[in-house]
Amino acid sequence: MLRVGALVQLSSDILKETLARPTVFKDESPLSLEYIPSRLPHREEQMRFLSQLFRFSLESPFSISQRVQITGDVGTGKTILTQRFGTDLVRAAKSRRINLHYVHVNCREAKGSLFMIIKRVLTHFEPEFPKRGFAPEELLHTLMDVLDDKNIHLILALDELEHLIRIEGATPLYNLTRIQEERIGKPIRLSLICILREPEYLQKLDKSTIDTLQRNIVKLDKYNSRQLIDILKDRVNLAFKENTVADDALQLVADIGGQSGDARYSIELLWRAGKYADAESAKRVNADHVRKAAGSVYPMLRGEYIAALSPHEKYMLLALARVLEETQEAYATIGAVEREYRAVCEEYNDQPRGHTQIWKYTRSLGAIGMIAASKSGEGVRGKTTLLGLQSIPASTMREQLETALTSAKKKRFPRF
């Protein structure tokens, strides 16, 4: 058995060897999820529309409160479009000496809490702002006072809005869209950009709030293979050394990514293919590196997909994965999955939902492409629904969900 000192030396030697190898990359940061490119291919029309909607903020600031809804599937560029627009608008306002700020808050990261959202916005302006002692509505009024004191118009982008609606219902958005009505005669201080993947969540709001948010909708369609090529070429020029990515490899990345229309997945696939090329000390990324990368990462198992699911949707997926892994069949009956779902709920100390709600989970997971559902045919007695997984091994799905649920369970029931 190797001693600790020997293990440290071995790790150090491997690191030195890795750093000594040639690499196809010149800068990996343009392939990260946090990177905001200077241009967004095939989103120019949406950028122009947003510019028209917020034109007032440069021509007659503090006169209008704008509300915009941006929708689209994962990987269609909702977040990056909004961040690029917000950055450009703030720069244009600054050149005109207009005090405009853009703040982007992810509602999932803020745990679906209006209190957490407003607190994050306030600390943008007041880093030493007290973290406790306020109700959400009090914080919102305090924010408006801060904006008044500093003479600011704030564009607040609420990303993954579903989580706020799911946790706290309609009240937070009602308060955010109505706050200005309580300030008659005062300058307009707050505009909203609401980013969400599932617009049906808005149906949980009151009619007046829905009407307000649905006046200006920016719908982002999935990218096709040709569009993904344009996006990937930009990232190749920024991230890779010259002539280190073969044309057929780039086309293969676009073709694979085009199946889901997910630019994020395609960019991650390109990055991972580059890593496989480096591991082999290859001078170029070729199609085989892309195939290896595609075999090691599944778009539906990316962190944001799993995190966006409710606990019981995760239980349902885990139940399906376990049944399919045990039976080695392509599909399982909804009855078998429902029985396993109840066992999973017991395992994770949660109360199982009724059959009607389970059916809703099934439809929801099917709508986002996580599972495939079909009616039974020959070989199955009676008529029932069959459930399967979309291009993801059952064992891989099970392992990923067990990890996510175990981590969540530890947070709920910490050991002291």
Q: What is the CATH number of the domain that holds 161?
A: 3.40.50.300
DSSP character at residue 193:
E
Amino acid, single-letter form, for residue 389:
L
User: What CATH number should be reported for the domain holding residue 334?
Assistant: 1.10.10.10
Q: What is the CATH number of the domain that holds 290?
A: 1.10.8.60
The domain boundary residue, chosen from 220, 245, 261: 220
Say whether both 125 and 206 belong to one domain: yes
Whether residue 16 lies inside any domain: the answer is no
What is the Cα–Cα distance from 113 to 121, expressed in whole angstroms? 13
User: Do 327 and 290 fall into the same domain?
Assistant: no
**One-letter amino acid of 85:** F
Instruction: Please give the residue range of the domain that contains residue 62.
Output: 44-220
pLDDT of residue 397: 86
CB atoms < 10 A from the CB of 96, how many?
11
pLDDT at position 320 is 94
- What lies within 8 Å, CB to CB, of 44 at 6+ separation is none
Say what the pLDDT of residue 416 is: 40
Cα Rg for the chain, rounded, in angstroms?
Answer: 24
Listed residue (63, 383, 91) closest to 191, CA to CA? 63
State residue 8's pLDDT score.
55
Q: Is residue 256 part of a domain?
A: yes
Query: What is the C-alpha to C-alpha distance for residues 22 and 106, in angstroms, rounded to an integer?
Result: 38
Q: Are both 307 and 351 inside the same structural domain? A: yes
- Residues 77, 215, single domain; the answer is yes
Question: Is residue 17 included in any domain, yes or no?
Answer: no
The 10s digit of each residue's pLDDT in 5-53 is 555 555 565 556 655 578 999 999 999 988 999 999 999 999 999 999 9
DSSP structural state of residue 410: H
Query: Is there a single domain that holds both residue 193 and residue 212?
Result: yes
Q: At residue 50, what are phi and psi to the nearest 5 degrees? A: -60, -40
Predicted pLDDT of residue 224: 93
Q: How many domains does the chain have?
A: 3
Distance from C-alpha of 91 to C-alpha of 96, rounded to nearest angstrom: 9
Same-domain pairing of 206 and 165:
yes
Hunting for tokens 């990937």 — which residue is that?
Answer: 232
Looking at the DSSP bridge assignments, the partners of residue 389 are 371
Q: Give 303's contacts (C-beta < 8 A, 6+ positions apart).
A: none
Do 330 and 393 lie in a common domain? yes
CA 140 vs CA 123, 135, 143, 166, 348: distances in Å? 13, 9, 5, 20, 36
pLDDT, tens digit (0-9, with 9 covering 90-100), for 105-130: 999 889 889 999 999 999 999 888 77
- Asked if 58 and 27 sit in the same domain, the reply is no
78 and 207 in a single domain? The answer is yes
User: Which residue type is seen at 364?
Assistant: S
**Residue 412: what pLDDT?**
56
Give Cα 262 distance to the centre of its chain.
11
Record the pTM.
Answer: 0.74
Q: Specify whether 72 is located in the same domain as 214.
A: yes
- Residue ranges for the chain with pLDDT beneath 70: 1-20, 131-133, 298-304, 367-369, 376-383, 390-391, 408-416
Q: Which residues contact residue 261 at a Cβ distance below 8 angstroms, ignoring those fewer than 6 apart? A: 73, 75, 76, 221, 222, 223, 224
DSSP notation for 107-171: TTTTTT-HHHHHHHHHHHH-TT--SSS--HHHHHHHHHHHHHHHT-EEEEEEESTHHHHHHHTTH
pLDDT of residue 341: 96
Residue 60 carries which side chain, given as an amino acid letter?
S
Residues 75 and 213 in one domain: yes
Q: Is 365 helix (H, G, I), strand (E, B) or coil?
A: helix
Beta-bridged to residue 251, according to DSSP, are none
Q: Mark which of 253, 273, 297 sits at the end of a domain.
A: 297
Q: Is position 10 within any domain? A: no
In a domain, 74, yes or no: yes
> Does residue 64 lie within any of the structural domains?
yes
Question: Last residue of some domain: 275, 297, 319?
Answer: 297
pLDDT score for 18: 57
Q: Are 14 and 279 in contact (CB under 8 A)?
A: no
